[in-house]
Structure 1
Amino acid sequence: MNLFNLNENYRKVESLFDDGAEVSEQALKDTLESIGEARATTLDNIAFLIERNTAKGDFYAKKIKELQLAKKSAENTVKRLNAYMTSAMDDAGLKELQTENHVLKPRNYKASVIVDDLDHLPEEYTTIKPAVKVADKTALYKALKNGTEVAGAHLKPNRKTAIG
């Protein structure tokens, strides 16, 4: 087998992985054995494929982290812009504003439970999970919503503007 054909055969093996599909162990074995090259050459080329795919995996992991950071930044920007828009509409006393492109309506959403100090929460509002004390936010929400004062927790309003 000439070098051109050998390289072409190993490119075919590489292409099995390029579309992201899972290749069965048997299909991979059959493809590699069909090349019919000496064991050392085949294993050397397999080592190359392993290095290549390890590098691709590392690249994808880095890219995922970058994209997750970009996503988080975009989400935080949306929160800040929505808070500003809601504040501006509240300050102007607007219940609805229709622009050329949007209908803006400030709305009250379910308030968020903020635990200021877990150690000061009454026991009825906490649970112990494998040696870790956690706040029972459902019980806290119900109690705080009904006007019960609970040391160590408060409700934080969750007001946003719906964009239609």
Structure 2
Amino acid sequence: MNLFQLGQQYQELAGREDLDPTVLTDTLDSIDDTWTEKANNIAKWIESLDADVEWLTKKKRSISDELTYRKNLRANLMTYLTSAIDDRGLKEVHTDDYILRPRNYKQRTVIDDEGKIPDEYRNYAKYQGMYDIKRNDVYKALKDGKNVPGAHLEPNRKVMIK
């Protein structure tokens, strides 16, 4: 079903963007059609909106999947490029278009097992009944050489592209 099968007045109404519930009700009440004709056109309009919602939902999912794919691909390419430069023992690579410099960034705090994280690194009140791990506190403790069960630091080395 599409909007072209709607009556002229309903097509004009469907094209408006100022349709809050009151305006919609008042406008529909003002259309001079038989009750069955009005109900028929509204049902067609609803079917058209259902199709639009379904299409937009698929499009949203498609865009979300593409975004995830591209983020993962970028991360994999960055890992590959960093490893390739590091394996060759180079400090800097000059290409025709770029200068590539590997560098160390702040280490990542990796939580291996949330159940093993001591209570001193948890915040109970933040999520009302659920524990939240204070990742920053865990990072500081690990950086200071303390042992935090269930967590470790991981190097974070990437290439700067200039």
Q: Same fold by TM-score, threshold 0.5 exceeded?
A: yes
Q: Write the distance in 1 (CA, Å) between the matches of 2:99 and 2:66.
A: 28
Report the count of equivalent residues.
Answer: 155
Q: Which residue is equivalent to 1:120?
A: 116
Q: Which residue is equivalent to 1:147?
A: 145
Structure 1 residue runs of 5 or longer lacking an equivalent are: 1-5
Q: Deviations over 1:85-110 (max 9, x none)?
A: 00111111222222112221212222
Q: Which residue is equivalent to 2:87?
A: 91
Structure 2 residue runs of 5 or longer lacking an equivalent are: 1-5
**Is residue 2:76 matched to residue 1:65?**
no
Kindly indicate whether the alpha-carbon contact (under 8 Å) linking 2:7 and 2:41 is maintained by their aligned counterparts in 1: no
Quote the RMSD (CA, aligned, Å).
Answer: 2.0
Structure 1 pair 121/28, CA: closer, same or farther in 2 (3 Å)? closer
Runs of 4+ in structure 1 displaced over 6 angstroms? Answer: none
Kindly indicate whether the alpha-carbon contact (under 8 Å) linking 1:125 and 1:139 is maintained by their aligned counterparts in 2: yes
Q: Write the distance in 2 (CA, Å) between the matches of 1:7 and 1:97.
A: 66
Kindly indicate whether the alpha-carbon contact (under 8 Å) linking 1:118 and 1:134 is maintained by their aligned counterparts in 2: no
Q: Which residue is equivalent to 2:99?
A: 103
Kindly indicate whether the alpha-carbon contact (under 8 Å) linking 2:116 and 2:149 is maintained by their aligned counterparts in 1: yes
Q: Which residue is equivalent to 2:159?
A: 161
Q: Which residue is equivalent to 1:74?
A: 70
* Identity within the alignment, %: 36
Structure 1 pair 118/7, CA: closer, same or farther in 2 (3 Å)? closer
Q: Which residue is equivalent to 1:3?
A: none
Deviation (angstroms), 1:131? 3.5
Q: TM-score normalised to the size of structure 2?
A: 0.83
Q: Partner of 1:132: helix, strand, or coil?
A: coil
Q: Partner of 2:91: helix, strand, or coil?
A: coil
